[in-house]
Structure 1
Amino acid sequence: MLKFLHNWRENRILRGSSYTDSHWRQALSRLPLLEPLNQDELDRLQRLATLFLHDKSLEGAGDLVVTTELKLVIALQACLPILNLGLDWYDGWVSVVIYPAGFTPLHTEMDEYGVVHEVSRPLSGESWERGPVVLSAEDSLGGGLIDGHNLVIHEFAHKLDMQNGVANGMPPLHRGMSAPQWSKSFSAAYADLQNRIAHGKSVAIDHYAATAPAEFFAVVSEVFFEQPRVVQQTYPAVYQQLVQFYRQDPLNV
């Protein structure tokens, strides 16, 4: 009965959607990232994005007008990681706050001596545990290029990571996945990346991945969907863990 009601609700939302084929074509034209998907995958992604936009609130910061194109471009990128997982993975929060470009939030941090400081750093996005995802419209609209950088996927990977608490680089794993194997694969890759950077060696993965395990997971998730061969060739064990977690294999489409 519950499954029937769930399906009835989703179908009702989809039938009532005001997004036209023209809207979707315009959004997809900005996202070469999605070109490898077959028609069935694109249809399911569009369905997920429609439900995402119904359940989440996309709000412009300042005087930003959140256009239909911006909504769809963000939703399509946000739903790509959960294409084979489902929208339930984004439960527990509602708001997506969108700035025109980068922003500089003010945070409090405690140093090693227990002194609390107010710190501000320029950002293009951030995710809060059980709070909003904050994005730059400029970076979101340009995120579909195949360059290994994708702000939306990065921030929504953090949301997946936070489904079992504070982001630490280990999201809730599916039945049959091994937590020790995940930890071994990611810890070894993380240490290797830090070592390569420390010794000035060339690496195709953004150095920001070496700042924390949570950032490593988010950055390699970006690269996994945009330039999967980079992850597969650099850290094959991590690639296989991501294939299992996302239930997608971008190199086998």
Structure 2
Amino acid sequence: MWGWLKRSRAPELPEPLWRATLARYPFLAERPDDEVAGLRTMAAQFLGRKEFHGAGGLEITDEIALAIAAQAVLPVLHLGLGWYDDFVTIVVHPDEVVARRSQVDETGVVHDWDEVLAGETMEGGPVMLNWHDVAHAGATADTGFNVVIHEFVHKIDLRDGAPDGCPPMPSRAAREGWLGVLQPQYERFVEQVKIAERFGGEMPWLDDYGATAIDEFFAVACEAYFVNRGRFAQEFAELTALFDGFFLAKR
């Protein structure tokens, strides 16, 4: 695998492999030409710096690795790959996995449960994904769902050590400004989900998993922002402006 990959500052992806990736994920191909070119260069650099490991019998192919790389670099296209320098390993399962969880509450009672995971991000550690959802990301863009972007946005969020829905900011004022926009949008989303679940109201367009915590809302919102900007801008105009100011700013 990756016999074509030369570990240089600007490796080149094979044209057929890159074209196949763009065809599979229209939300990449439909971006401006300069961004598509930037994604190609950065995806190759990403492949040169990261290690992929298949789990559950999955064999990592060039197709799988590039599919993940091309989507993973989308959030940092203008930020730079340095935002992902706290880890090396990406573990890919064939499908969602069930993780056994355990927690002790304030009274000392132990609670055990099973959690179905599409992906998971460890602070300072690896990223876990599942190939089924990655492979179908082109089709699920209509719903704003993208597991790769979700998990890699968690990496961005965690760079300051806190999973709080706010990436590192240059000042306290900037942080307060960010949360001043995101927090009300999160609270409104949580209320919409509650009404839908309890009273049969219409579910919001975004994945309702975003109602579990503000950091999950940030990741879920970013999924939609990057793969279906038109619909996201209609639903979340204030967040679109907020994200533009961070993800698209020239540095």
Q: TM-score range by the shorter chain?
A: 0.7 to 0.9
Q: Is the 8 Å Cα contact of residues 101 and 124 (structure 1) preserved in structure 2?
A: yes
Q: Distance in 2 between matches of 1:11 and 1:105?
A: 36
Check if 1:56 corresponds to 2:54: no
Q: Is the 8 Å Cα contact of residues 70 and 137 (structure 1) preserved in structure 2?
A: yes
> 1:43, CA displacement in angstroms?
1.3
Correspondence for 1:243: 244
Correspondence for 1:204: 205
Map 1:181-196 to 2 at 5 A: 181-196=177-192
Q: Is the 8 Å Cα contact of residues 173 and 245 (structure 1) preserved in structure 2?
A: no
In structure 1, the gaps of 5 or more residues are 1-9, 249-253
Check if 1:100 corresponds to 2:94: yes
Correspondence for 1:156: 152
For the residue of structure 2 that corresponds to 1:109, the secondary structure is: strand
TM-score by length of structure 2 reads 0.87
Check if 1:127 corresponds to 2:121: yes
Correspondence for 1:219: 220
Of 231-240 and 45-54, deviating more is 231-240
In structure 2, the gaps of 5 or more residues are 1-5
Q: Distance in 1 between matches of 2:24 and 2:170?
A: 32
Correspondence for 1:142: 136
Judged with a 3 Å threshold, the aligned counterparts in structure 2 of structure 1 residues 215 and 66 are, in CA distance, closer, same or farther, namely same
Correspondence for 2:161: 165
Match for residue 83 of structure 1 among 77, 84, 97:
77
Judged with a 3 Å threshold, the aligned counterparts in structure 2 of structure 1 residues 244 and 175 are, in CA distance, closer, same or farther, namely farther
For the residue of structure 2 that corresponds to 1:192, the secondary structure is: helix
TM-score by length of structure 1 reads 0.87
Judged with a 3 Å threshold, the aligned counterparts in structure 2 of structure 1 residues 178 and 166 are, in CA distance, closer, same or farther, namely closer
Q: Is the 8 Å Cα contact of residues 204 and 230 (structure 1) preserved in structure 2?
A: no
Correspondence for 1:114: 108
For the residue of structure 2 that corresponds to 1:170, the secondary structure is: coil
> 1:168, CA displacement in angstroms?
1.3
What percent of counterpart residues are identical? 35
Query: What is the alpha-carbon root mean square deviation over aligned residues?
Result: 2.1
Aligned length, in residue pairs = 237
For the residue of structure 1 that corresponds to 2:53, the secondary structure is: strand
- 1:110-139 per-residue CA deviation (whole Å, 9 max, x = no partner) reads 223233444321111111111111000111
> 1:42, CA displacement in angstroms?
1.1
Q: Residue 229 of structure 2 aligns to which amino acid in structure 1?
A: P
Q: Residue 222 of structure 2 aligns to which amino acid in structure 1?
A: S
Q: Residue 195 of structure 1 aligns to which amino acid in structure 2?
A: E
Check if 1:14 corresponds to 2:10: yes
> 1:26, CA displacement in angstroms?
1.4
> 1:207, CA displacement in angstroms?
1.1
